[in-house]
Amino acid sequence: MPRITFIQPDGTEQVVEGQVGATVMETARQHMIEGIEAECGGACACATCHVYVDEAWREKVGGPSEMEEDMLDFAFDVRPVSRLSCQIKVTADLDGLVVRVPEKQF
Amino acid sequence: MVADGTVSAAPIETDAIIIGAGPIGLFAVFELGLVDIKAHVIDILGKPGGQCAELYPEKPIYDIPGLPIVTGQGLTDALMAQIKPFGATFHLGQRVDALQKMDDGRFQVVTDAGTHFLAKMVVIAAGGGSFTPKRPPLAGIEAYEGTSIFYSVRRMDDFKDSDVLVVGGGDSALDWTLNLQPIANNLTLLHRRDDFRGAPHSVEQMRALVRDKKIALLIGQMAALEGNNGALTAVTIKTKDGDVRHPCNRLLPFFGLTMKLGPVANWGLNLQENLVPVDTEKFETSTPGIFAIGDINWYPGKLKLILSGFHEAALMSQAAHRIVYPGKKLLFQYTTSSSSLQKKLGVS
Ligand SMILES: Cc1cc2nc3c(=O)[nH]c(=O)nc-3n(C[C@H](O)[C@H](O)[C@H](O)COP(=O)(O)OP(=O)(O)OC[C@H]3O[C@@H](n4cnc5c(N)ncnc54)[C@H](O)[C@@H]3O)c2cc1C
Ligand code: FES
């Protein structure tokens, strides 16, 4: 199963196993990763599942869709590596993925 | 209640008040209507539909019985058409602040606009709570709210001759940029990217003002606030060329809405983790005559699904009939075959 590392703003790292087909947000919620609130349950309607994709993974993960880019307007401290984790599907290719949890969700 | 704490002189007297115009509050109009109960519906949003209309108008719902696929807005429109025969009165853009039982057994309901109701019964269909503007997570922001920082414009005068910073990329940000520009001393629109979600026509008008140097457009994000005693003096803005200190004394951040329980917590009802416990026969709260249906309630096995809320509305209405028409027997009837129900629906 693909392993995903979540890094908290204070540097704490948590490595968890994700399921292919689930989203990175769902993986985070399942493992109770702090700071991924996901108020809308993954509908790309709240922007409280914001993460920063590690630079090394940026290309493989890809950029946001137009709808996600619009929703990112509602996130705080958006960067070029910002994604909404409910819009990233876990695939075998993403084994080893590293994402950072932002300091604050809106 | 209005600013000076008074309530409107003549209360609106009615059978039922429905707090919340989400899908469940709307369907409650239907079920109450079938048993001859007239309702007034109040919602803080400027439109009906609750979460469906505000959070996911264009997204599909697949689990409404009989509708293989319907969007949030589509369901709202269909419900509005379905309840039309019952002529409920809507009070939109108003938040219910106070709910209390009076000595005569009726309930007094007061909104933040000062509208005052007296009803025989109340249905709380408040969903996830009142929609409230999202507050940017900037240190010390509370100190400026209501004096320098506003999440909506109640009085244009608050912005007259001010140095205004509007933040956001949707219709609210654009509309207020256009509306406040003529009266502000100067106005700057800040958005994280040079791409706007708002209506193309408003975007065009905004761009024209920028070309004419009547407003400034900044691309970046807020990082910190500066000021003292509730008076904002500047906002630090992160741009791609580094941090910029932007002097201003009015800030209007538009980052959408989120649901907060809000005033429901102050109505003397039992609460359990921000939900209102009810029985599963009548969906009545700890106060007889006050019902709670939809996402706001809790009972063993509760599922926050639209279809569950519809069922709750039907059973609630049976109990409501006993309150509004004490002693009158309620016949169980089908809309398919009952001529009296069809008359109410205006189809016979
Ligand atoms: C992205 C998303 C997708 C969803 N998909 C589905 C799905 O596929 N199927 C499904 O069954 N459900 C789905 N849901 C859940 C569904 O939307 C809710 O169950 C439903 O909206 C609840 O309806 P409601 O009428 O109880 O409350 P809401 O829709 O939350 O409406 C409550 C209304 O009450 C108002 N209100 C609250 N307090 C006050 C006050 N004091 N004064 C004035 N107004 C007040 C609020 O402003 C709000 O408009 C989804 C939800 C989301 C966010
Ligand atoms: S969970 Fe709401 S946008 Fe991702």
Same domain, B126 and B269: yes
Same domain, B165 and B238: yes
DSSP string computed for A38-74: -TTSSSSSS-TTEEEE-GGGHHHH-PPPHHHHHHHTT
**Residue B61 is assigned to a structural domain of this protein:** yes
The pLDDT of residue B143 is: 97
Q: Which atom of ligand 2 is nearest to the CA of A86?
A: 4
The pLDDT of residue A1 is: 85
Look at B134 and A104 and tell me if their CB atoms are within 8 Å.
Answer: no
**Last residue in a domain, options B233, B255, B277:** B255
pLDDT tens across B220-267, in order? 999 999 999 999 999 999 999 999 999 999 999 999 988 889 999 999
pLDDT tens across A43-78, in order? 899 999 999 999 999 999 999 999 999 999 999 999
Sign of CA dihedral B79, B81, B82, B84: positive
**The token pair that represents B237 in the structure block:** 């803005």
pLDDT tens across B16-30, in order? 999 999 999 999 999
pLDDT tens across B252-311, in order? 999 998 888 999 999 999 999 899 999 999 999 999 999 999 999 999 999 999 999 999
Count A/B contacts: CB-CB distance under 8 Å.
42
- Residue B241's CB: how many other CB atoms inside 10 A? 8
- CA neighbor of B288 nearest in space, from B309, B312, B329, B319: B319
Edge to edge, what strands does the sheet with A97-100 contain? A13-17, A3-7, A97-100, A50-53, A82-84
Partner residue opposite B56 with nearest CB, options A45, A72, A76: A45
Q: Give mean pLDDT, residues B42-70.
A: 95
All structural domains of chain A, each given as residue ranges with its CATH number in brackets, are 3-97 (3.10.20.30)
* A positions 78-97 inside 8 Å of B (CB): 78
Q: Above 0.90 for ipTM, yes or no? A: yes
CA distance B280 to A32: 32
Q: Which residue range(s) make up the domain with B300?
A: 12-131+258-344
- B127 near A CB under 8 A: no
The pLDDT of residue B7 is: 52
Same domain, B266 and B277: yes
Distance from CA of A100 to the nearest CA of B (A): 18
Interior angle at CA B56, CA B63 and CA B296, nearest 5: 70
**Residue B1 is assigned to a structural domain of this protein:** no
**Residue B5 is assigned to a structural domain of this protein:** no
Count of structural domains, chain B: 2
Q: Which residues of A touch B137 (CB under 8 A)?
A: 76, 104-106
Sign of CA dihedral A63, A64, A70, A74: negative
CA distance B73 to B23: 10
CB B184 within 8 A of CB B162: yes
**Last residue in a domain, options B194, B223, B255:** B255
Same domain, B273 and B179: no
Pocket of ligand 1 (CB under 6 A): A 40, 43, 45; B 19-25, 42-45, 50-52, 55-56, 61, 63, 95-96, 125-131, 262-264, 294-295, 304-307, 309
**Residue B248 is assigned to a structural domain of this protein:** yes
Same domain, B93 and B109: yes
Q: Which residues of B touch A72 (CB under 8 A)?
A: 192
**Residue B6 is assigned to a structural domain of this protein:** no
Beta partners for residue B243, in sequence order: B238
Q: Give mean pLDDT, residues A1-30.
A: 96
**The token pair that represents B198 in the structure block:** 């708002």
Same domain, B67 and B81: yes
The pLDDT of residue B15 is: 98
Look at B221 and A78 and tell me if their CB atoms are within 8 Å.
Answer: yes
Look at A43 and B193 and tell me if their CB atoms are within 8 Å.
Answer: no
Chain Cα centroid distance, residue B278: 23
pLDDT confidence bin for B348, thresholds 50/70/90: confident
CA distance B284 to B278: 5
Look at B170 and A43 and tell me if their CB atoms are within 8 Å.
Answer: no
Q: B65-86 as b/e, with b when 16 or more CB fall inside 10 Å?
A: eeeeebbbbbbbbebbeebebb
**Residue B181 is assigned to a structural domain of this protein:** yes
Same domain, B150 and B88: no
Q: Which residues of A touch B56 (CB under 8 A)?
A: 40, 43, 45
Same domain, B263 and B119: yes
Task: Spell out the alpha helix ranges (H) of chain B.
Answer: 23-34, 50-54, 72-83, 171-180, 200-211, 306-324, 339-345
Look at A73 and B191 and tell me if their CB atoms are within 8 Å.
Answer: yes
Q: Does the structure show a pLDDT above 60 at B5? A: no
**The token pair that represents B177 in the structure block:** 């940029």
Q: Is B269 helix (H, G, I), strand (E, B) or coil?
A: coil
Same domain, B338 and B229: no
- CA neighbor of B306 nearest in space, from B8, B96, B39, B67: B67
Q: Is B315 helix (H, G, I), strand (E, B) or coil?
A: helix
Residue whose entry in the numeric block shows the structure tokens 């000076």: B4
